[in-house]
Amino acid sequence: MTGSARNFLEFHDIPEAGLRSIVARAGELAGAWDERAMPQSLAGKRVALIVDDGGWRNTTAFDLGIQAMGGICVHVPISFNTREETSDLAAYLGNWFDMLVIRTKELATLKAVAAVSPVPVINARTRSNHPCETLGDLAYIKSWRGSIDGLKVAGVAADANIFRSWVEASIALPIEVVQVYPERWHVRDSALLDGRFRASTDMGELLDADVIVTDSWPGDAAADALAGHRVGTDVLDRLREDAIFLPCPPVTRGQEVTAEAMEHPLCRSRAAKAFLLHAQNALMEWIAA
């Protein structure tokens, strides 16, 4: 674990017990959100929200969640790896804030910040991974199924940030993650291969999966190279009746999924993404505790 024991840079930075606590708490906070009765768990906490790499979904949810739980959220208009040293920026931010939520390009940048930051750092997305997205999906899955134990998650995805965080999750939690994709785009990072992860090219792996996730097609792929890994209703109709299909946003209809697949009864994308807010709120509670 890098720096403070309360950093969340990679999914497996948090021990299993902590992750289980966060996922369970997300379900409770979902109920509180619906009742407009959010606990003021972040009252008096000052949180810096730094968006150094575009995007809107989870950073908007962070902003909203911080305010709903009584905290102060400040958008800090800085960029890393430009004029000021990262170590200097981290020290300056630590003078004013209790927590840093950072969306930036490089995971290495986040690790550099966390190494010198006097306050906890949360990864709001890098090009390498996106742990909050996976945390939100797991919170939704638990709310729907009652448990995350023993899940088989099939990722029809290249080695990209969304799918990588599922691989990270297989290190920390008792879930099986299988990548179903042409070998050229398989995950080969040795640091991620000691969990319950494996790679395959067989779309038949989806047939007994509990959860199916996708990610955007890689930019260096010819369309005909990946056509066999497009998820459409023909694929979804063959899956288990209780399977959960979670195409990862942004969804490119006609590439990794068909338009019809997004309307299939197994597609739970909209409901699951509501839990991004609740899981991030639970994460901030846990970190601030």
Q: What integer pLDDT is reported at residue 128 of this predicted model?
A: 94
Question: CA 21, 22, 23, 24 torsion: positive or negative?
Answer: positive
DSSP result, 200-234: E--GGGGGG-SEEEE-PPPTT--HHHHGGG-B-HH
Residue 72 has pLDDT above 90, yes or no: yes
Residue 1 has pLDDT above 70, yes or no: no
Look at the block and give the residue holding tokens 């409770």.
Answer: 28
Q: What integer pLDDT is reported at residue 46 of this predicted model?
A: 98
Using 50, 70 and 90 to split pLDDT, how confident is the model at 82? confident
Complete domains list, the chain, with CATH: 11-130+276-288 (3.40.50.1370), 132-272 (3.40.50.1370)
Q: What is the pLDDT of residues 117-126, one digit of tens each?
A: 999 999 999 9
Q: What is the pLDDT of residues 164-217, one digit of tens each?
A: 999 999 999 999 999 999 999 999 999 898 779 999 999 999 999 999 999 989
Q: What integer pLDDT is reported at residue 3 of this predicted model?
A: 43
- Is the full-model pTM beyond 0.85? yes
Interatomic CA distance for residues 192 and 163, integer angstroms: 12
